[in-house]
Every structure is written in C-alpha cells, then in structure tokens.
Chains A and B, each alone.
Chain A
Amino acid sequence: MNRSSVSRRQFLGASGAAVVAGLAGCSGGQGQSGATTDTASSADVVKIGVLEDQSGNFALVGAPKHKASMLAIEEINANGGIDGKQIETYATDPQSDNQRYQELTREMINENDVDVLWAGYSSATREAIRPTIDRNEQLYFYTTQYEGGVCDKYTFAVGPTARQQLGIVLPYLREEFGPKIYTIAADYNFGQLSADWVKVLADENDAEVVGEEFIPLSESSFGSVINNIQDADPDFVMSMLVGANHTAFYKQKASAGLDVPIGTSTAMAQGYEHRRLDPPAMANIYAGVNYMEEVPTESNTGDGGFVDRYYEKYPDAPYLNEEAETNYFSTYMYKKAVEQAGTLEQPEVIEALESGIELGTERAPEAPEGETIKLDGATHHVDHHMWVMKADDQHNVEAVKNEQIPEQFLSETVGCNLPENPETTQYTPVDYFEEAE
C-alpha cells in the first residue's frame, strides 16, 4: 500500500478530534445540586472538607496546602479537638481540574455534609465552585493569594490580596531603586488585575509604569521580553508571571545577563523557585509575601516552630509555601470561631468569624512576637503581616522589610460590609481607579 496516502486532511481531522476530546474534559456542566442539609450536622464530630491539588498542573503548589491542613487538623485532634469534638477529615484530590472541583464540592456538601470546606488553588477554581458554595450557603475558606475583591457572605478569602502583596514590595523598590517600573504579567484574570494594581500603587507612590507586557501561560521563550525590558531601561521590574512555563523566564533573564531588580507577588513564595532553579536565576528578586519558609519569626523558624513541626510530619516535603501557612492558621481561626459560637451551625460560626477572630503568633507564624493576625469581619479578609523577601546570587533569602498591611480595597474603596449587607460579588479595581483603566 502507498504510505503517503495518509493525507494532511486526515491528520488534521484526527488532531482536531483529539483537541475537541481534550477540551470536552475542561468544560464542566454545572449540574443542579440537591437540597442542602447544612444545619443537620452530627454533633459529636466536626466534619472538615479539604480539596487541594495533589496531582495535575497545580500539584507543586497545592500539595503543601493539603499537608499543612492535615498538620493543623492532627494538632487540633491531639489537643482535644474543637470544643471537645474530634475532627473528621474528608480530603480528595481534585487533580487541578475545575470540573472535578465542581463535582467534589457538591459531594462534600450533599453527601459528606461537611461543616466547613477548604478548596482550590487558582482563582478560576474558586469562581467555578463559588456558585455552588453560595447556593448551599456553605462556609468556605479560600486560602491562595489572589487578585482581591471577593465580597461574599459564605467565602472567607484569607490569603493576601494583590494590593497587600504589591503594597509591601512596590513602595520598597520605589524607595531603593527609583520611579520607573516595567510590568510583566501572565495574560489572564489574575495577571491583568495585578497589573492594574501596579498602576494604582505606582500612582500612590509617585512612580510611573513605563511599559507592560502580558504573556500567554503557554509561553516559555522570553528572549524578546528580555529585549523589551532592556529597551525600556526601567529602575525595576514588577513580575506577576504564573506557572511552570513562566518559571523559565528567571533562568533565561539570568543567562541573558539582565540584572535589573525584580519585584514579584508570585515567584519564590509559592513555587520555591529559589530552591528548584540553579543559582543565580533568582538573584536580585524581591518577593512581597505574607509567608515563606524563611520568614524569620520565632514561631516559624524557632525551635519547635511551624517549620520544625511541618518537616517532622513530612520529612520529605520539598518546601513549606505561602498558601500552606494560610491553610494552617485559617484552620485555627475556624476552631476559635466554633468555640466562640458554641455550635457547629454554620450561620452562627460565620457570625463568630465576622466578630473579628484574632490569632496570636503561635498559630500565625507570619507575625513577629507580640503581634496578632486579625480577620476583618466586614470583608472576610485578613490583615496580614507582610514581608519583602530578597534572594541573593546564592539564592539565600533574607527579610528586608516587614509591616502589617490591612486589606484596603474592599474595606475602604468598595465599602464591602458583609454582616450588614450579605452579597456574593467580586469587585475589580477598574471600576474604582482611573489609573487602572
């Protein structure tokens, strides 16, 4: 037979079919969920649902979140549980797949009847399950750092927002290096909104964005991006690159000899690039974060601190990342709220959380001795203690600045007040700031 009979058209047809089959897996149908029974929890155990990625695209950053939740639950159970009740854990791997998240969220609510749910790495995941959360009035903790603006009666977005992360690192770099900023960001919701925040903060700090470029998540060649930065000759770069492909930027800028200081809200704290990449890829990079393994507080790196306890339970874990700490302390916030409410009934627990739960440094290792981490009841966000962490050319990380930074966008600009006005909206900076347009 004639081998060249395999035509381009067949090849295309076949490849097309494969792509369609691949996409079909991504478009989750939003099925109808059954009636909720969230007030009928059995009274002798606390049911906690944890959906964090242990495989798929977000496994690298999601696995530490899962581990930290398990650590907190184990500690609480060993110390008598919550209000005398042991915690029963429901944890399944959603495989970084939003459709899977939707199914598992319904399963957690309808079948397992969980009292509280932790779920999701990316903002896309959060938005995929939030309708189900809200319809079932399910108490939900979202712990990843994110673009900010979620004002939702049932969601507690306890990770730091873009405004908090950029709000610590951008003013520091402005002070140290000068006013000209070049922004590079991942080309989707999070990156675009973060770039808007860079403009707002540049304006507030008497700086100027001289150029910006949005980079598709699939891109891994950064030659022209590096040339464009050199062309604009900024005083520093703000990088909100996301994901494994974008990590290549740091290697390539190092090998191209680009040595401009880079501020970031995404690198190092989540995916521990300073451990994975060969030095000096991360030299001269400044991360604005609430937590990294290297944060030098007594309750974190001290003897028997958070880092010690984590590696005692997980000796082979590669890193303890930003979101892991958020999962950890928010579990203790929930414990405190239940004990204050004296019940597992979710409306009462939400009310207790809204009364402004505070955690001392022992359970919130990001805060230095004598400070507390406070949940803002009006917005369901956290006034984090923020750090600027600098990596040197040997990838040693040191803290160069730290201060408490409140969530400002929802509380001051939007006026989100969930106890008075329960809503389920996400607000964006474009609606409130001219600079963001």
Chain B
Amino acid sequence: MVNGINLALQFLDSFAFIVLAAAGLAIIFGIMGVINLAHGEFILVGAYATTLSATKLGLPLAAAMLVGTLVTAAFGVVVERFVISGAVPNWIGQRTVGRDFVEPLYDRLADSMVATFGLSLIMVQGARVVFGNSIDTVGTPFGNIAYGAFSYSTYRIVLSGVSIALLVGVYYIFTRTEYGMTARATIQDEETARALGVDTERIYMATFAIGSGLAGLTGALFAPTLSMQPTLGDQFLVEAFVAVVVGGPSVVLGTALSGGVLGAIQAVFTNLYGTFFGRIALLAAAMVALRFLPDGITGFIETVQSRRQEGE
C-alpha cells in the first residue's frame, strides 16, 4: 500500500536530486556545446570546499555552502581559461613561439569529452592525494518531520524548495539580464552576435563559471547528506546526463520538465517496487523518450509550435 505523503515526499526528493544534478551540466552543454565529463568532480569541489570550510574553518553551514559555490565557480573560470578556451596556453604560445597552442573546445563534442574526462581523472586522484581517501563529514541539519508511522528528513524537503528557486533564478538570469540576452544571442548565432559587439569570449567564460558554480552549489547542498570521498561525484552523473538528454535544447524549461517527469516516474516505481526498480524505470523512461522524442521534451515542444505556425 503506497502512502500518499511518502509518494509526494519521494517525488520532491527525486525532483530536487535530478534538477540539482543536471543544472550545471545543462547550462554548459546547452550554451557552449561542451560536454563536461568532469561535472561530477565540479560537484566534488563544491562538496569538499563546503565540508572543509565547515569542519576546519568553523564557518556556519550556510556560509560554508556559499564558499563552496564560489570556490567551484572560480575553479570553473580557471578550467575555462586553461582547458576549454585555451586562452592561457595560447597567450603563452603567442609570446614564446608566436602561434596558438590549442583550439577552443566549443562545439567539439568528442574532443571536449576527452579533455574533461582526463580532467576528471586528475581531479579524483588529486583529491585522493591531497585529502586522503575520505574527509570528516558535517551532520544533516533540521531534523525530521514525522507523520503516522513514518518520518522524512526535513533537509531533503528543503532541497526541493532550493531546486525550484534555482530554476527561477536561472530563468531570471537568462531572460531578464543583459548577460542573459547576449548569452542567448550567442547561442542563436555566434558570428552575428560578435558582429553586433558582443564579446562572446567573455560570455563563454561567464557561462562556464555559472555552470560550474551551479555544480558547486549542488555539491554544497548535498554535502551534509553524503559521505565525503573522492568519487562522490559519480552518483550524480546518471541522473544529470539522462535529465539533459530528456530535457532537450531549452536549458531551464528542459531541466524543469525532465526533473518533473523523471522524478515522478522514479518516485512511483521506487515506492511501489523498491529502489532497484525505481532506477530501472528512470533509465527505461529515458530510452523511451529518446526513441519517440529524439530532441528531448523541449525539442518536441518547439517542433509542435513551429508546425502550428506553419499551419496558420
């Protein structure tokens, strides 16, 4: 017998997990055409920075989370300058041998995957070398809410609220700010945007920083609920990639819709048949979606809209 409150809370939990896991990846992929296979390790940076600032520096948890997010965003800028755009190696190249060393990785899917995969290996092993096989964790705040024979961690419910706020925030940034408008112009037509005076280099750098910061925020938010070890990013990857593929080209709407659809499917199956079948249902849903909606949910919506316009 499925308890209605259990189901609702499980849905919120799954929704928050999927949206937070996918947000940073979706932005970097959607806008820059870079598949960041080190996404899990950006989450790791956020989680470790948060945990260490709380345990070693004694910061309150909320401040530690802010530190975790900012550290990851700053780290994202460094990675963008050195690896993704190659600006720093090229700057050195121009001054030493008089030519560029590397081509930027924008829109080079396979190349960006290989580069970021290498980065992820370095980061996992680097974390192991520097911090050891695990670090002490912080406890989960807020206690629990009890209902009947059941109880649920309050913090997990708070996370679903945060995930919705995050979607609203990203939506606001991309539709209401100057950065958002120029970023969208760059997505639609990079050359025209540049001709009109948009500094696309800076847009890419800012976008990568925002995407990295969101991954860091995910790590920061989940740090109190997970065990801290160098491979902790792996557990987010399946949900993140599935959500991006199912969501389709629109970053915010796609992530929200795939979080909703996949979260609902996972919650129902997990509640009825257990964790194992919840996971199978998630992957099966992704396969079905790809077979019938190859451009994802938002791609399908766009197709329907353009057909309707043609019909008028």
What 10 A-B pairs are tightest by C-beta distance, nearest first? A278-B139, A255-B140, A247-B227, A60-B133, A257-B144, A255-B153, A14-B109, A6-B33, A256-B153, A257-B151
Q: How far is the CA of A247 from the CA of B227 in the complex (A)?
A: 6
A-B contact pairs, 22 of them (CB 8 A): A1-B190, A3-B31, A3-B190, A14-B109, A55-B128, A216-B279, A224-B274, A227-B6, A227-B152, A230-B150, A230-B151, A244-B229, A244-B231, A244-B232, A251-B140, A251-B225, A251-B226, A255-B144, A255-B156, A257-B144, A276-B228, A278-B138
Q: Which residue of A lies closest to B33 (CB)?
A: A6
Within 8 A of A (CB), among B9-59: 9-10, 13-14, 17, 29, 31, 33, 35, 37
Q: Is the CB of A227 within 8 A of B10?
A: yes
Comparing B62-70, B72-80, B92-100, B291-299, the segment that makes contact with chain A is B291-299
Comparing B162-170, B172-180, B181-189, the segment that makes contact with chain A is B181-189
Known contacts A55-B125, A218-B238, A276-B227; can you find 8 more A-B pairs with CB under 8 A?
A: A3-B186, A213-B275, A213-B276, A224-B6, A227-B3, A252-B140, A255-B143, A273-B227
Q: Which residue of A lies closest to B246 (CB)?
A: A8
Q: How far is the CA of A214 from the CA of B187 in the complex (A)?
A: 45
Q: Is A63 interfacial (CB-CB < 8 Å)?
A: yes
Q: Is B90 interfacial (CB-CB < 8 Å)?
A: no
Known: A231-B150, A244-B229. A224 touches B125 (CB 8 A): no
Which residues of chain A come closer than 8 Å to B244, judged between CB atoms?
11
Q: Which residue of B lies closest to A257 (CB)?
A: B144
Q: Which residue of B lies closest to A280 (CB)?
A: B139
Q: Is B146 interfacial (CB-CB < 8 Å)?
A: yes
Q: Which residue of B lies closest to A212 (CB)?
A: B274
Q: Is the CB of A213 within 8 A of B274?
A: yes
Q: Is the CB of B134 within 8 A of A15?
A: no
Which residues of chain A come closer than 8 Å to B249, judged between CB atoms?
4, 8
Q: How far is the CA of A216 from the CA of B296 in the complex (A)?
A: 27
- Contact mask for chain A residues 154-189; partner B; CB cutoff 8 A; 1 contact, 0 none: 000000000000000000000000000000000100
Q: Is the CB of B35 within 8 A of A227?
A: no
Name, among A1, A222, A276, the residue most crowded by chain B CB atoms within 10 Å (CB to CB).
A276
Q: Is A245 interfacial (CB-CB < 8 Å)?
A: yes
Q: How far is the CA of A279 from the CA of B279 in the complex (A)?
A: 30
> Given B227, B229, B279, B295, which contacts A219 in the complex, CB threshold below 8 Å?
B279
Q: How far is the CA of A68 from the CA of B178 in the complex (A)?
A: 60
Q: Is the CB of B241 within 8 A of A59?
A: no
Q: Which residue of B lies closest to A225 (CB)?
A: B275
Q: Which residue of A lies closest to B293 (CB)?
A: A8
Which residues of chain B come closer than 8 Å to A15, judged between CB atoms?
35, 113, 241, 245
Q: Is B195 interfacial (CB-CB < 8 Å)?
A: no
Q: Is B137 interfacial (CB-CB < 8 Å)?
A: yes
Q: Which residue of A lies closest to B135 (CB)?
A: A276
Q: Is B155 interfacial (CB-CB < 8 Å)?
A: yes
Q: Is A78 interfacial (CB-CB < 8 Å)?
A: no
Q: How far is the CA of A288 from the CA of B190 in the complex (A)?
A: 63
Q: Is the CB of A252 within 8 A of B153?
A: yes
Which residues of chain A come closer than 8 Å to B132, judged between CB atoms?
318
Within 8 A of B (CB), among A212-267: 213-216, 218-228, 230-231, 233, 244-245, 247-248, 251-252, 254-258
Q: How far is the CA of A278 from the CA of B140 in the complex (A)?
A: 9
Within 8 A of B (CB), among A186-214: 187, 213-214
Q: Is the CB of A278 within 8 A of B137?
A: yes
Which residues of chain B come closer than 8 Å to A219, judged between CB atoms?
235, 275, 279
Which residues of chain A come closer than 8 Å to B146, judged between CB atoms?
257
Q: Is B201 interfacial (CB-CB < 8 Å)?
A: no
Q: Which residue of A lies closest to B114 (CB)?
A: A18
Q: Is B149 interfacial (CB-CB < 8 Å)?
A: yes
Q: Is A12 interfacial (CB-CB < 8 Å)?
A: yes
Q: Which residue of B lies closest to A245 (CB)?
A: B235
Name, among B31, B156, B238, B244, the residue most crowded by chain A CB atoms within 10 Å (CB to CB).
B156
Q: Is B117 interfacial (CB-CB < 8 Å)?
A: yes
> Given A55, A258, A279, which contacts B151 in the complex, CB threshold below 8 Å?
A258
Q: Is the CB of A228 within 8 A of B113?
A: no
Within 8 A of A (CB), among B114-163: 117, 125, 128, 132-140, 142-144, 146, 149-156
Q: How far is the CA of A216 from the CA of B270 in the complex (A)?
A: 12
Q: Which residue of A lies closest to B237 (CB)?
A: A218
Which residues of chain B come closer than 8 Å to A230, judged between CB atoms?
149-151
Q: Is the CB of A279 within 8 A of B139?
A: yes
> Given A187, A215, A276, which contacts B134 in the complex, CB threshold below 8 Å?
A276
Q: Which residue of B lies closest to A187 (CB)?
A: B276
Which residues of chain B come closer than 8 Å to A2, judged between CB atoms?
188-189
